[in-house]
Amino acid sequence: MSSRRGPNGRDRRARSLAAGGLALAVVAELSSVGLLGLSGWFISACAVAGAATVSSFSYIAPSGGVRAFALARVAGNYSKRLVLHAAALRRVATARAGLFDRAAGADRAQADRLWSGELLDRSMADADSAGMALIEFTTPVTVTAASTVGAVLAVAVSTSLVPAAVLAAGVVGMVVIAHRTPGIARETEQHTRKALRAELVTAVDAWTELASLGAAEELAARTTARLTRLDIAREVSGRRRHRTTLATGLIGTATLTATAAAGSAPDAPTFVLVALLSLGVLAQAEQLAAAAEARAAAKAAHHRLTAGAPITMGDTVVPGIRSWSTEQGIGFADYPLPPMALRPGRVLGATVARGATLVVTGRSGSGKSTLLRALASSLRQAADGHDGRPAVAAVAADDHLFTGTLGSNWRLADAALTDDEIDERLSQLRLNDSGLTATTPVGPGGRQLSGGELRRVYLGRALARHPHVLIVDEPTTGLDDRTARHVLGILTNLPDTAVVLALHDVPACLEPARPLTRLPLDHTSQEAS
């Protein structure tokens, strides 16, 4: 693979696009300011020449310059939009890809934090802010600097150094005012708006439960409080912007007046040229306030994207584990099971052959789910599905179902599944008894399905992946005895899959099943049968 197609080549391509876009933006802005100044000078010169009795003024060269500036402005503006947006979208794509890479490399607890609704929404918005900073911050600053230098030089050549210095000082003053405009107000407004939206979405989703709890009044009060905070945040942000706009406007007006007064222009056309050049540069400098807010937002977004999600007290810390995967099966060792009131701590290990089952048993809170999460995370790094099958599929106790139909959820596991094939698999799990088909809508998060139906839908989706290793936490939750036996029969009859189950105890129906190993967490030693 050539360097052009590798990461370094893509980085160079992105930097080249950004540099080219900035150059085109500078050309477009200089052409715009030049067109404004030269047009004013040309009109004034024509008026003066027309009023004179005898004049040697030639309009050919100035009119050609006006046309050249106009064409350069149009071409520059069109080209810069194409190139800058292409460069910015590459940056956004890179930031989003980095976000997904972090999620793919995270353990289950970290992934749950990263993919939570509000945090995911904010992370995607942060990726957009970081990428679009090229257009919202870098471009205005670069263009303002280039146009200021060009205008100051033009004013100095046309008149003297005094008006040029006044113009430069005015732009510097506007830069200082814009730099002092923090992005905190906009950040606060965005955060409050997202929190309010998340609250409203959650309330609509869980309205039945809220009504049964009599929590409608409390929810209304909390929502009203959030709306009030949003209004306050918007008001603060608006006042800050108005103050900045007023300050930069006053500085711009004073600078324009002082530049014109100190210009000592030799004639009226030169006076108009100086005034219009100054006006164009000062108008561009007024955009720096918005650029400063964009910079603050992009800086905060970049910090959040690179720092990662903070660990909170409610997060589950997954202990270390050593695992391996071979053609014959899987195994793990050196898993530190922490001590509890009724059991001492110890180090666990086990092996599971292909076609065999490991059942991890223990009371609630004994650490079954934590062990399964650690094992799944470790095996994903150690194993590889060389034959096209995924190495590991895990079904957590709190797995997720996406809004849509049963078919759309199962096709996440196998995009080639047809409706008929899905209906057949639903029948195997006895979900057709409830009238479920591939086109059945599941509702937000699967809320239209019962607990037992959800467990079987999760299992069916994992089985559709045909994994080498299947790890299932509490596969019989919400199932009656007959259905539970049927589901366990399916899970223990996968001839080419190593299966790891977490159950409170080994049911009698599994005793005569295929090779089965028990790993009780409530006892001081491992048992095998």
CA distance 63 to 42: 8
CA distance 341 to 378: 28
* Ranges for all domains in the chain classified under CATH 3.40.50.300: 322-520
Q: Is the pLDDT confidence value at 119 over 70? A: no
> pLDDT band at residue 52, thresholds of 50, 70 and 90?
low
Average pLDDT for 422-443: 90
For residue 318, pLDDT beyond 60? no
Minimal CA–CA distance to 255: which of 275, 284, 232, 270? 275
Q: What is the value of pTM for the model shown?
A: 0.54
Name the percent of the chain lying above pLDDT 90.
14
- DSSP string across 138-188: IHHHHHHHHHHHHHHHHHHHHS-HHHHHHHHHHHHHHHHHHHT--SHHHHH
pLDDT in tens, 4-26: 445 566 677 888 888 999 999 99
What are 364's two structure tokens? 């609630």
Per-residue pLDDT tens for 75-109? 999 999 999 888 888 888 887 777 676 666 555 55
CATH 1.20.1560.10 intervals, the chain: 7-307
Q: What is the pLDDT at residue 78?
A: 93
Distance in angstroms (rounded) separating the CA atoms of residues 149 and 167: 10
CATH 1.20.1290.10 describes domain 322-520 = no
Residue with tokens 């040229």, as numbered in its chain: 273
Cβ distance 150 to 33 under 8 Å? yes
Model confidence band, residue 74 (pLDDT cutoffs 50, 70, 90) = very high
Rg (CA), the chain: 34
- Using DSSP bridges, classify how beta strands 469-473 and 392-395 pair: parallel, antiparallel or unpaired: parallel
Mind giving me the DSSP string for 266-284? SSHHHHHHHHHHHHHHHHH
**What contacts 504, CB < 8 A, 6 or more positions away?**
361, 362, 363, 364
pLDDT band at 528 (very low <50, low <70, confident <90, very high): very low
**Angle CA 357–358–360, to nearest 5:** 145
DSSP assigned state of 389:
S
Q: Token digits for 92?
A: 């956004």
Q: Whole-angstrom distance between the N-terminal and C-terminal Cα of the chain?
A: 52
Token pair recorded at residue 73 = 């402005």
Q: pLDDT for 459-501, tens place per residue?
A: 999 998 888 899 999 998 888 989 999 999 999 888 889 999 9
CATH of 7-307, one of 3.60.70.12, 2.40.100.10, 1.20.1560.10, 1.50.10.10: 1.20.1560.10
Determine the residue type at 452.
G
Report which secondary-structure segment, H or E, holds 133: helix 117-133
